[in-house]
A and B are shown apart, each in its own frame.
Chain A
Amino acid sequence: MNDPVLRFDRVSKQFGATRAVDDVSLEVRAGEFFALLGPSGCGKTTLMRMAAGFETPDTGAVFIDGADMRATPPHRRPVNMMFQSYALFPHLTVADNIAFGLKRMGVDRATIVTRVAEMVRIAQLQGMERRKPAQLSGGQRQRVALARALARGPKLLLLDEPLGALDRKLREETQFELMQIQKKLNVAFLVVTHDQDEALAMADRIAIMRAGRIEQLGAPGEIYARPRTKFVAGFVGETNFFEGRVIARDAHAIRIETPDGVIEIAHEGFSGDHAIVSVRPERIAPGGAGRNSVAGEVQDVIFRGDHSLARVRLSSGALLRVAADAGALAQGARATFAFGANDGVIVDG
Chain B
Amino acid sequence: MVERARRLGAGRRAILAAPYLWLVAFFLVPLALVFKISLSRSAIAQPPYVPTFDFGEGLSAILDKARTFGLDAYRGLFADPLYFEAYLTSLALAGLATAIAVAIAYPIALAIARSDKRLRPVLIGLAVAPFWTSFLIRVYAWIMILKDEGLFNRALMALGIIDAPLPILATNAAVTIGMVYSYLPFVVLPIYAALEAQDESLREAAADLGAAPLATFLTVTLPLSATGVVAGALLMFIPAVGEFVIPDLLGGSDTMMIGRVMWNDFFENRDWPAASAGAIVLIALLVGPIVWIERRRT
Using CB atoms and an 8 Å cutoff, list the residues of chain A in contact with chain B.
Answer: 52-54, 73-77, 80-81, 83, 85, 87-91, 100-101, 104-105, 148-149, 152
Contact = CB atoms under 8 A, between A and B. Distances in A.
A85 B199 contact: yes
A116 to B, nearest CB: 13
Given A87-B202, A89-B202, A75 B224 contact: no
A81 B209 CA distance: 8
A81 B202 CA distance: 12
Nearest to B206: A100
A75 B199 contact: no
B211 interface: yes
Interface stretch (B21-29, B74-82, B96-104, B215-223): B215-223
A80 B219 CA distance: 18
B201 A83 contact: yes
A75 B210 contact: yes
Counting chain B residues whose Cβ lies within 8 A of the other chain, the interface size class is: 10 to 19
Nearest to B210: A104
Most A CB contacts (10 A, CB to CB) among B204, B213, B215 go to B204
A83 B204 contact: yes
5 tightest A-B CB contacts, nearest first: A101-B209, A104-B210, A87-B205, A87-B201, A74-B207
Nearest to A158: B208
A208 B210 CA distance: 31
A54 B216 CA distance: 15
B15 interface: no
Given A87-B201, A91-B223, A80 B215 contact: no
Most A CB contacts (10 A, CB to CB) among B205, B209, B215, B216 go to B209
B220 A74 contact: no
Nearest to A75: B207
A80 B205 CA distance: 9
B210 A83 contact: no
Nearest to B212: A75
17 contacts: A52-B204, A73-B207, A74-B207, A75-B213, A76-B210, A77-B208, A81-B208, A83-B205, A87-B202, A87-B204, A89-B202, A89-B205, A89-B220, A101-B210, A104-B210, A149-B209, A152-B210
B196 to A, nearest CB: 16
Given A83-B205, A101-B209, A148-B209, A91 B224 contact: yes
A90 B220 CA distance: 9
A97 B152 CA distance: 50
A80 B211 contact: no
Most A CB contacts (10 A, CB to CB) among B202, B208, B220 go to B208
A74 B204 contact: yes
Interface string B46-87: 000000000000000000000000000000000000000000
B201 A52 contact: no
Interface in B210-239: 210-213, 215-216, 219-220, 223-224
A76 B220 CA distance: 18
Given A76-B210, A87-B205, 6 more contacts: A73-B207, A81-B205, A89-B206, A104-B215, A149-B208, A152-B210
A79 to B, nearest CB: 8
B224 A80 contact: no
B56 to A, nearest CB: 59
A105 B216 CA distance: 14
